[in-house]
Amino acid sequence: MADMTVFVARTVRTMEPSLPVAEAVAVRDGRIVEVGTLDTMRPWLESHSHEIDDTFKDHCIMPGFIDPHLHPSMAAILLPMHFTTAVGWDLPWEDIGPVHDDEQFLARMESLDAALAPGEPLFTFGHHPIWHGPIDRSALNQISTARPIVAWHRGYHSITVNDACLRWMDLDTAAAGRHPQVDLDAGKFFETGLSVALRHLRGYLLETERFRAGLDRMRQVIHNGGHTTIGDAALGFYGFEQEWDHLQAVMEQPDTPFRIQLMPFAMGPEGDERTDDEFVERVLSYPSRNTHRLRFSDHAKMFADGGFFAELLMLKPPGHLDGRHGEWMTPPERFEAVARALWNAQRRIHVHCSGDLGVELALSTLEKLQWERPRFDHRFTFEHFGISSAQQVDRMAAVGAVASVNAYYVYELAEAFAARAVGYERASQISRLGSLERAGVRFAVHSDFPMAPAKPLNNAWVAANRLTESGAVMGATERASLDAAIKAITTNAAYVLGLEDEIGSLRWGKRADFTVLEADPYAVSAESLRDIPIWGTVFEGHKFPISSD
Amino acid sequence: MGASAPKDLVPVTVIAGYLGAGKTTLINELLSHDHGRRLAVLVNDFGAVNIDAALIAGHDGQTISLKNGCVCCSIADELGDALDRVLALDPAADQIVIEASGVADPANVAAYGQGWPGCRLDAVVVLADAETVQARSRDQFVGELVVRQLRRADIVMATKCDLVTEAGLAAVMDWLTETAAGAPILTRRAGQLEPELLLETAQPTARPGRQRSHAGNGPGEPAFDSAVVEVDGTLDRDRVEAALQDWPDSVLRVKGILRFNGAAGGLHIVQRVGRRWSIEPAPNGFTPDHTGKLVVIGLPGTLYHRDLTASLNRQAQ
C-alpha cells in the first residue's frame, strides 16, 4: 500500500491566503502533507510511494465544513419525532415539505398516524398557530382516540395532547387542573405547565434506545450537511454523564466522519461543589476524558439571557413590542463572578446572548475582565448574537471578542420579529454580520441545530444574502461578503473553536478533512450558494460519500 | 394517581427576591427556629450554597441546588424532580420552602406550588434589601426584574432594616408600598423572625373577640397581632369572598373552616396569605375540631376586630 494518497480536483479552495487555489492535496495518515499541483509537489511524490485518487477530478475540494454550535443531545430528543413545521426540513431520512396551513397540518397528522404501529405514541414537532391555527385535545382526538399524540410547538414552549395521551401519562388531573399554565380541556401544557406533562413523558423521551436512535439520526444530519467538525455547545442539559455515555456509544465509531469539540455547560458550582474554585477544577478536568473524536479543550459555555426562538431575549429600551420581558439565565453578578473564575483559569468563554441587553452583559463583563487582567487571544465568543447594535460591535472589536452568529434567524424569524416582537428596525438587523466584518471582528455562523437546519452552505447563504423565507431582503448592509460567509463555515469557525492550527483550511500538517462540492462556491453567485450539491466528505483522509437513498 | 384530598397537599412557600436580599439567611433562621414544623428546603440559586447542613439534618429537610433553565431544556426539570424527592420523604414534610433563584420570576416558581402533584401554594414572600432595593430597581440589567418580583409578592419583607436610618426606612417603605401595590410589607431586622407570618404554623391561640399582640424575638414593638373572628351558622360565600378581597393589606394571614349556605354549601377551608386567598371545599369525611372561626394575623395595631366580624356576619344566619 502506498504511503500517500494524492487527491486531485478541478479546484482546491484552500482558504489559505498564501495559496488560495490549488489542484491537488497529498495526504498521509489522515493529515495533509502538501497542497499544490502534481508538479509543485514533485519532491514529495518522488521520495514517497503514492497513489493518485481522481474521484474528485470534476469537483471542488473545500476544507471540511465546521459548525461550532449545535446541540446533539437536544437533537437526540427531537429527531425521533415527526416534523410538521411550516418551513420544510430536508432530513437525511425524509424530505419534509412545508406544512403551510391547518388543512395540511391535519392531513400530515393523519398520514403519520396511519403509518405508525398500533399503540406507538405519536410525537410531532413544529405546530405553530400562525400557520396551523389553534389545535386542541378534541382536534387530536379526531386523529386518534387510541394512540397517545403529543404535538410539540415550534417554539418549544408548549405541547398539546389527546385523551389517549392523558391516559398514558396517568396524570394527577386535580393537580394539573390547579396549575395556572395547564389547560386540561384544551389538552395544553405550556411554560411551567410543560413540566407537569414532562414529568410523565421524560422517561420515554430520554430512554436509552430512543435517545441513541436520535443521536444516530444526528450523526446522519451532520454528515449530510457536509460537516467534518462540529461544536457541541453545551454538554449537560439533561445530565452530563449520561449524555457523555450516549455520545461515546453513538459517535465514537470508526464510520463516524466527524469530530465533536465539546463545551461544558459552565454556570458555576453544581452538586456538591461549594465554591467557584471547585467548579473551575471540574471544568479543567474534562479534557482528561477525551477520545479520538470527542474532545474537550479550554472552552466553557455560559448563558446570559434567554433563547431567541423562545422569545426570552433581554432587550435594552425600548424593549419588546408588547412590553413583555425576557429572562436572565444567570444573575448578572453571578455571571460576572463565574466569568471571572473561568477567565482567570485561562478558559475560552462562549456566551449565549440573544438580545442587546444580553450582549451588553457579556460585553461589559469582558471589558471589566480585560481591565482587571488583560489577555490577548482570549477568544471570548458572543454566541447567537440575535439583536445587537453597531456600537456594541465596535466595543467588541476593541476588546478582542469574536462571534458565532445564528444567521438563520434572518431567514425564519426576521419578518415575524418585525411584525410581532421588536418592530422592523431591529428585526431587519438581527444577526448583524456586515458590521462585524467592517469592524474586523472574526465571526463564524452556526445552526444551533435543532433550532435551524444543520447545513453550513445554507447558513453561509443566509449570511451573504439576508433573504427571508418569503424572499424579502432584511438589512442589506448587514450582509457578509461571500468570502466572509465562506470563512464563517471554515477558517473562522475553526478559530472560534480554537482549532485553527488543525482544521479550517488546507495546508501542510492539517487534518485531511474535506467537504467535496459539485461547484466552486467562489465561482457561483451568492444567491446560489445553498444550491451547490455536496458529494460528501473526506474525514482524516477517508472518503465518506453522502448516500442518496 | 388519583386526586388527593386538599388536606394531604403539602403547602409550598416560595421565598423570592434578588441576590443579596437575605433569602439564605432567612431560610437558615427558619430551619433553626423551634416552630414545630418539619421543613423541606429547596435551594434554587447559583453559586455557593450557604445553607447550614447541620441545621437541615436536624430538621430532616433536604437542600437541593438548582440551576435556572430555559424552555428548550425544560426536559431536565430539576425543580419538579426535587419536589418529587421531597414529597417522597418519610415522615413527610409539613411544609416545603423553595428559595427561588435571584433571577426567577416568582410566578414561575409559584406555579409549581399551585399545580405540582402533592403540593399547594401557601405564599410567595419576596424579600427586598432595604439598603439597596431602590438602587437595584434602576439597574440597567435587573431593574425591571426587581420591580416585577415585588409585584408578584403575596407578602413583601423588607430586610436589613436595622442598617438604614429611620428616615431611610420610611422612604423605602413608601417606595415598596407603591411598587408592590396591594401586598403587605413586613420589616425584618437582624435576629428578628416570626415564623407564624412565613409558614403555616400552628395558629396563635387567642380568645375569641380579643386582639392580642405577639412579641417578636427581636427588640421593640410587637411583631404582629392576631385575632379570632367567630361567626354563627352558615355564611354567604359571596360575602366571605368579598371580605377576603377587601380586608386591608395589613392582614397577613387568615385561616379557618366555614360552613356556606346554598347549593355549593358545606364545609370549606378558607385561607388568605397577604393578597392571595382561596376557598376550597373541605375533604369528604373531614371533621374539624371547630368551625365558624377564622384566625387572623395582621400587622401590629391594624386588626379591628369589630370590623372584621361585621364584614363577615352581616348576612350570616
pLDDT tens-digit map of A359-388:
999 999 999 999 999 999 999 999 999 999
| A543 lies in some domain | no
Predicted confidence band of residue B57 (pLDDT cuts 50, 70, 90): very low
| B206 lies in some domain | no
Is the CB of B216 inside 8 Å of chain A's CB atoms? no
Q: Clarify whether residues B178 and B262 are in a common domain.
A: no
Q: Clarify whether residues B191 and B224 are in a common domain.
A: no
**pLDDT value, residue B1:** 37
Query: Do A312 and B70 lie within an 8 Å CB cutoff?
Result: yes
Mean per-residue pLDDT over chain B, rounded: 80
Q: Which residues of B touch A451 (CB under 8 A)?
A: 72
3-state secondary structure A429-470: CCCCCHHHHHHCCCEEECCCCCCCCCCHHHHHHHHHHCECCC
B76: closest chain A residue by CA: A238
Q: Clarify whether residues B113 and B70 are in a common domain.
A: yes
| A515 lies in some domain | no
Q: Clarify whether residues B115 and B139 are in a common domain.
A: yes
A176-201: pLDDT as tens digits: 999 999 999 999 999 889 889 999 99
Q: Clarify whether residues B168 and B224 are in a common domain.
A: no
- Indicate the residue of B48, B72, B141 with minimum beta-carbon distance to A74: B72
In the structure grid, which three cell numbers stand for residue A503, read together?
482544521
User: Does pLDDT of A483 surpass 80?
Assistant: yes
Q: Clarify whether residues B29 and B94 are in a common domain.
A: yes
* Residue A65 to residue A228: CA distance in whole angstroms: 6
Q: Clarify whether residues A26 and A116 are in a common domain.
A: no
Query: Rounded to a whole number, what is the distance in Å from the CA of B185 to chain A's nearest CA?
Result: 25
The residues, any chain, with a CB within 8 Å of residue A96's CB and separated by 6 or more, are A83, A85, A88, A89, A90
Question: In chain A, how many domains are there?
Answer: 3
Report the sign of the C-alpha dihedral through residues B300, B177, B127, B219, in that order. Answer: negative
| B119 lies in some domain | yes
- Indicate the residue of B46, B80, B118 with minimum beta-carbon distance to A268: B46
Most B CBs within 10 A among A333, A354, A359, hence the mutation to make, goes to A333
Predicted confidence band of residue B161 (pLDDT cuts 50, 70, 90): very high
For chain A, helix, strand, coil in percent to 5 are 35, 25, 40
Predicted confidence band of residue A130 (pLDDT cuts 50, 70, 90): confident
B79: closest chain A residue by CA: A195
Most B CBs within 10 A among A327, A352, A368, hence the mutation to make, goes to A327
| B1 lies in some domain | no
| A190 lies in some domain | yes
Q: Clarify whether residues B135 and B180 are in a common domain.
A: yes
Name the residue type at position B10.
V
Most B CBs within 10 A among A178, A273, A351, hence the mutation to make, goes to A178
- Indicate the residue of B49, B72, B115 with minimum beta-carbon distance to A310: B72
Burial B1-21 (b: 16+ CB within 10 A, else e): eeebebeebbbbbbbbbbbbb
Query: Do B116 and A175 lie within an 8 Å CB cutoff?
Result: yes
Is the CB of B72 inside 8 Å of chain A's CB atoms? yes
Report the pLDDT averaged over residues A541-548.
Answer: 92
Q: Which residues of A touch B112 (CB under 8 A)?
A: 192, 195
Q: Residue A20 belongs to a domain with what CATH number?
A: 2.30.40.10
| A549 lies in some domain | no
| Residue that is last in its domain, among B142, B166, B198 | B198
Does residue A133 or residue A521 have the better pLDDT? A521
Q: Please report which helix (H) or strand (E) contains residue B91, including its range.
A: none
| B107 lies in some domain | yes
Q: Clarify whether residues A302 and A437 are in a common domain.
A: yes
Query: Do B47 and A338 lie within an 8 Å CB cutoff?
Result: yes
Q: Clarify whether residues A262 and A169 are in a common domain.
A: no
Give the range among A536-540, B16-20, B233-237, B276-280 with minimum mean pLDDT.
B233-237
| A526 lies in some domain | no
| B110 lies in some domain | yes
- Indicate the residue of A182, A195, A269 with minimum beta-carbon distance to B48: A269
| Residue that is last in its domain, among A206, A239, A273 | A206
Is the CB of A172 inside 8 Å of chain B's CB atoms? yes
Q: How far is CA A179 from CA A190, A194, B111, in A?
A: 10, 10, 6
Bridging pattern class, strands A182-183 and A122-127 = unpaired
Question: In chain B, how many domains are there?
Answer: 2
Q: Residue A372 belongs to a domain with what CATH number?
A: 3.20.20.140
Q: Clarify whether residues B224 and B183 are in a common domain.
A: no
User: Does pLDDT of B317 surpass 50?
Assistant: no
DSSP designation for A52: E
Q: Find residues 393-412 of chain A whose CB sits inside 8 Å of chain B.
A: none
Q: Clarify whether residues A162 and A15 are in a common domain.
A: no
A450-474: pLDDT as tens digits: 889 999 999 999 999 999 999 999 9
Q: Clarify whether residues A294 and A340 are in a common domain.
A: yes
Q: Residue A112 belongs to a domain with what CATH number?
A: 3.10.310.70
Is the CB of B116 inside 8 Å of chain A's CB atoms? yes
**pLDDT value, residue A461:** 98
For residue A250, which of A287, A294, A288, A206 has the smallest C-alpha distance? A294
Q: Clarify whether residues B127 and B240 are in a common domain.
A: no
Q: Residue B17 belongs to a domain with what CATH number?
A: 3.40.50.300
Q: Between chain A and chain B, how many beta carbons pairs sit less than 8 Å apart?
A: 157
Is the CB of B6 inside 8 Å of chain A's CB atoms? no
CA angle A253/A258/A263 to nearest 5° reads: 100
Query: Do A192 and B105 lie within an 8 Å CB cutoff?
Result: no
Most A CBs within 10 A among B9, B71, B119, hence the mutation to make, goes to B71
Q: Clarify whether residues B78 and B219 are in a common domain.
A: no
User: Does pLDDT of A475 surpass 80?
Assistant: yes
φ, ψ at B295 (rounded to 5°): -90, 125
Q: Clarify whether residues A241 and A268 are in a common domain.
A: yes
Q: Find residues 475-534 of chain A whose CB sits inside 8 Å of chain B.
A: none
B180-202: pLDDT as tens digits: 988 999 998 877 788 888 888 65
A274: closest chain B residue by CA: B48
Q: Clarify whether residues A38 and A79 are in a common domain.
A: no
B49: closest chain A residue by CA: A274
Q: Clarify whether residues A417 and A278 are in a common domain.
A: yes
Q: Clarify whether residues A416 and A272 are in a common domain.
A: yes
Query: Rounded to a whole number, what is the distance in Å from the CA of A374 to chain B's nearest CA?
Result: 25
| A530 lies in some domain | no
Query: Do A156 and B75 lie within an 8 Å CB cutoff?
Result: no
Bridging pattern class, strands A227-235 and A65-70 = parallel
**pLDDT value, residue A268:** 86
**pLDDT value, residue B210:** 54
Q: Clarify whether residues A8 and A135 are in a common domain.
A: no
| A523 lies in some domain | no
Note down the domain range covering A151: 72-206
Q: Which residues of A touch B75 (CB under 8 A)?
A: 77, 198, 202, 205-206, 237-238
Is the CB of B284 inside 8 Å of chain A's CB atoms? no
Other Cβ atoms within 10 Å of B305 Cβ, number: 17
Q: Find residues 3-62 of chain A whose CB sits inside 8 Å of chain B.
A: none
| A358 lies in some domain | yes
**pLDDT value, residue B140:** 95
Q: Clarify whether residues B266 and B193 are in a common domain.
A: no
Query: Do B112 and A360 lie within an 8 Å CB cutoff?
Result: no
| B158 lies in some domain | yes
For residue B205, which of B224, B223, B227, B221 has the smallest C-alpha distance? B227
Q: Clarify whether residues A304 and A439 are in a common domain.
A: yes
| B67 lies in some domain | yes
Q: Clarify whether residues A295 and A339 are in a common domain.
A: yes
Q: Clarify whether residues B149 and B10 are in a common domain.
A: yes
CB A494 within 8 A of CB A402: no
Note down the domain range covering B66: 6-198
Query: Do B108 and A191 lie within an 8 Å CB cutoff?
Result: yes
Q: Which residues of B touch A314 (CB under 8 A)?
A: 141
Is the CB of A167 inside 8 Å of chain B's CB atoms? no
| B203 lies in some domain | no
